[in-house]
Structure 1
């Protein structure tokens, strides 16, 4: 008698008995089969499948950090940007309601979407000079460095 391990769609392991000598299933095999079946997709899926976090590009230069986030279809008033204890949080919450009235019916659709991204800023950021801009679907945040943290250009030291 050999035992094979099958990996079903939901990622769990089940055992399959390849011994063909018994044709009737036993009570224990029925119970095992019930618990090892593929779970309904609602249990094996991520509940946030319809939502995704926007992609972020972070770039450092000698003078500043730049955060860019692609979030098309929003208005600048949809964003809330907060700084609390060196943690920069970018959030949005949008509710939509569309209603179409035709001769014989009324169709109403509701929509809700939100996200929040948080970043721990280095202590070198001058938090009093942070600026944000939203243009053509791109949220840009300029995080200037403190004067003492800015990279100085290399210089030649003469030997005396």
Structure 2
């Protein structure tokens, strides 16, 4: 008995609705007219299997620094680049997936994991110490730490007593 993909009319209608909604929010569509698209695939500007992804990131401000957090599943530190040029921090990377037609147990029926590139740029505020920016990947999460400059202590106004001559 051969494996076949069940064509569910409910899922087709749901897919069309989700694609209309995503396009309405300004997200690019990679789907050529008349074809189907997996709505759970990262949004790309390239083909359906490779392209450039707009990587979602969290931006966190603490009293001493700014932090950028991004999910980078399966990536190693050498797959990610963090660059600073004229006050603009760019985080980019490349995820490569080797396609295979057969695994040790037999035939691969479906391969949905894909290769992609990503890039995000941020204009940094004036109060950052660009000399001490650091980046780490731990358990599939990229964390870029951007320390703030040490601020000079605020001088409190001093009241001067006025006396008569």
Q: One fold, TM greater than 0.5?
A: yes
**1:71 Cα deviation after fit:** 2.1
Q: For residue 67 of structure 2, what is the aligned residue in structure 1?
A: 66
For the residues of structure 1 that align with 2:105 and 2:139, how far apart are their CA atoms? 38
- 1:6-37 CA distances to partner (integer Å, 9 max, x unpaired)? xxx898xxxxxxxxxxxxxxxxxxxxxxxxxx
- 1:125 matched residue in structure 2: 128
Q: Secondary structure at 1:128's aligned position in 2? A: helix
Shift of 1:55: 2.2
Greater strand proportion:
1
* Cα distance change on mapping 1:155 and 1:93 into 2, 3 Å: same
TM-score (norm 1): 0.57
Structure 1 segments of 4 or more deviating over 3 A?
A: 101-107, 154-160
How far the C-alpha of 1:94 sits from its partner, in A, is: 2.2
Q: Quick one: structure 1 residues 106 and 74, their matched pair in 2 at CA, closer, same or farther if it must change by over 3 Å?
A: closer
Instruction: Structure 2 unaligned segments of length 5 or more: list them.
Output: 1-16, 21-30, 44-53, 161-165
Provide structure 1 residue ranges, at least 5 long, that are not aligned to the other structure: 1-8, 12-40
Question: For the aligned residues, what is the CA RMSD?
Answer: 3.7
Equivalent residue pairs, number? 120
1:64 shift after superposition:
1.5
Question: Given the superposition, is the C-alpha separation of residues 43 and 128 from structure 1 closer, same or farther in structure 2, using an over 3 Å criterion?
Answer: same
Q: TM-score, normalised by structure 2?
A: 0.55
